[in-house]
Chains A and B, each alone.
Chain A
Amino acid sequence: MKRHLKLILLFMKLSLMKEMIYKKTFVWSFITITAWWLVQLTMVNLIYYNVKAIAGWNFGEMLVLLGTFNIVDSLIFAFFVNNMGKIADYIRKGDLDFFLIKPISSQFYVTFKLFSFNELYEVFLGMFLVFFGLGKISYNIPLINWSVFIIMIFSAIAISYALWLITSCFAFISPRISEIHEAFISISQFSKYPVGIYNKFFNRLLVWFFPVLFMAAIPAGVLLGKYSFIYAAFSIILAVMFILISTKIWNFSLKYYQSASS
């Protein structure tokens, strides 16, 4: 475990050095992230200018939801976006060979190799939105809700990672689709909206079978006291389950990998 943490830190250090080469890009990516954040905020603002609530969520609550999404989205992007994006490449070019002979699990290596620091900036934007939104509704969130919320953020990251890896494993079947990891990014957007807008079928699908709603919509609801704490227990169970499943699928998929050398 200690060795793994040490390695992650080392990977992060190397990634930071790489990113700092292009300083201007670094600064511009802050501007870009802010711009996209403002676009999304403008849309919500304009909608709430005309309606009081969407599926029972008022403006302040919606901002908490969006902020939560920003936080989780930003963390999983920082850790995984470059890594998941490369899996199809590794397979096509046969680079996976190098990871398989490393004295550490190939899943670990593929997962953490590249860290993207400029994505982290969105965490602050997200936190700002959460507190700003809470200020709009002006009721006190009990401390217990906060602690449960933070636990749920961690399981949200675990669940998202597992789902992302599982989707990316399709690259083993069809490495030609180099954008396969984008499927998860598209699906994850469903967590930006309140759970209540979906019909029964999509609700079940996105809560239990491909639980992206645990990424933001459900944690934000628990923080605001809309859902009971039982959902926190569910999120932990789902996180453990899906991490185990993703490892199983990764190891299974490796059997489909045809090495470049043999």
Chain B
Amino acid sequence: MQRLMLMDAFEYRASYWFWVFIQTLPIIGIYFLWSAIIPAGGSLKGYNYQAILTYYIGVTIAVRIIQSTPEWDLNWSINEGYFTYYLYRPISPYLEMLSVRIAMKIFNLMLFIPAISLIIYLLGSNIALPSLANLLLFFGFCLISFVIMFTISFTVGLIAFWWENAAAIFYFKNAIVALLSGYTIPFEFFPAKFQNFLNILPFKYVAYFPAKIFQGQLSLGEIGKGALLALLWMLILLTIMRFIYLKGLRRYSAVGG
């Protein structure tokens, strides 16, 4: 199954350089914007120019690893009735979609590595590269974050059981995640009280926390604590997902007969 999906993804390699191009554009924008905001030698909220660019590169890589969009597949398959085929299979739809996503991810990342290396090379001394240990910790942490984000998206996708055409909600969720995860701007720029709130939520582990590891600003103890909390959130989210999924399934079979 995973091999099949991999082959499928290879088919579309024609569009690879096009995607590299699209992905590079926002980084160019961030580069110019922040070089205008933080003057050479200055710093803002503990970020100098080099640190803020490193943060955004970390976020870009983390999001590239973590992001997956099962909600669209769910929406489509539930509305078209294709979801029934998922139910015939011996593994749960959640696990099946997750494993398919992982296969696609591995492929995408293989392609992403040359692209991001090129960008990092071009930025040169404008960013501070992480040590090998931090880089490995970063990738390891992204695995947990991947499952967290997948579960959130999957849960939101379950809305399709109740509601045809839930696309707008998916975009809404993306906006919320973009703001609360530190993807748009680092937490330090928020007012102190709001930062406490952001630090409790699970979205933190999707962009801000991995980016901090990438920057090399967290000690091993802090990373360990973060990983434990992230795992705890993973369990909570899985429980919520399972609960909503079972409710939705009852509704699906009630409608579909």
Report whether B35 and A47 are in contact in the complex, using a CB–CB cutoff of 8 Å: no
Interface residues of A in 179-204 (CB under 8 A from B): 179-180, 182-183, 186-187, 189-190, 192-194, 196-199, 202
Chain B 10-47 interface 0/1 with A at a Cβ cutoff of 8 Å (1 = within): 00101100100110011011001101110000001100
A193 to B15, CA, bound (A): 28
Q: With contacts A25-B167, A193-B32 known, is A186 near B22, CB below 8 A?
A: yes
Report whether B175 and A193 are in contact in the complex, using a CB–CB cutoff of 8 Å: no
Inter-chain contacts of A28 with B (CB < 8 A): 168-169, 172
Dominant SS among interface residues on chain A? helix
Q: With contacts A25-B167, A47-B37, A176-B14 known, is A35 near B175, CB below 8 A?
A: yes
B162 to chain A, nearest CB (A): 11
Inter-chain contacts of A25 with B (CB < 8 A): 165, 167-168
Report whether B190 and A46 are in contact in the complex, using a CB–CB cutoff of 8 Å: yes
Report whether A32 and B165 are in contact in the complex, using a CB–CB cutoff of 8 Å: no
Q: Is B86 an interface residue (CB 8 A)?
A: no
A176 to B165, CA, bound (A): 26
A144 to chain B, nearest CB (A): 30
Report whether A46 and B185 are in contact in the complex, using a CB–CB cutoff of 8 Å: yes
Inter-chain contacts of A177 with B (CB < 8 A): 14-15, 18
Report whether A35 and B22 are in contact in the complex, using a CB–CB cutoff of 8 Å: no
**Size bracket of the A interface:** 35 or more
The residue on A at minimum CB distance from B190 is A46
Q: With contacts A32-B175, A39-B179 known, is A47 near B15, CB below 8 A?
A: no
Q: Is A230 an interface residue (CB 8 A)?
A: no
Report whether A39 and B168 are in contact in the complex, using a CB–CB cutoff of 8 Å: no
Chain A 41-65 interface 0/1 with B at a Cβ cutoff of 8 Å (1 = within): 0110011011100110000000000
Inter-chain contacts of B15 with A (CB < 8 A): 174, 176-177, 179
A183 to B44, CA, bound (A): 32
Q: Is A24 an interface residue (CB 8 A)?
A: yes
Interface residues of B in 76-119 (CB under 8 A from A): none
A254 to B169, CA, bound (A): 38
Report whether A176 and B12 are in contact in the complex, using a CB–CB cutoff of 8 Å: yes
B59 to chain A, nearest CB (A): 13
Report whether B176 and A35 are in contact in the complex, using a CB–CB cutoff of 8 Å: yes
A194 to B169, CA, bound (A): 32
Inter-chain contacts of A202 with B (CB < 8 A): 28, 32
A83 to B164, CA, bound (A): 24
Q: Is B184 an interface residue (CB 8 A)?
A: yes
Choice from A42, A43, A51, A199 contacting B32 with Cβ under 8 Å: A199
Chain A 1-45 interface 0/1 with B at a Cβ cutoff of 8 Å (1 = within): 000000000000000000000101100110110011011001100
Report whether A54 and B175 are in contact in the complex, using a CB–CB cutoff of 8 Å: no
A51 to B189, CA, bound (A): 11
Interface residues of B in 162-196 (CB under 8 A from A): 163-165, 167-169, 171-172, 175-176, 178-179, 184-185, 189-190
Q: Which 5 pairs between the two chains have the least Cβ-Cβ distance?
A: A28-B168, A35-B175, A197-B36, A46-B189, A186-B25
- Name 18 A/B residue pairs within 8 A (Cβ), A-sorted: A28-B172, A29-B168, A31-B168, A32-B168, A32-B172, A32-B175, A39-B179, A43-B184, A54-B36, A176-B14, A177-B18, A179-B15, A179-B18, A186-B22, A189-B25, A197-B33, A202-B28, A202-B32
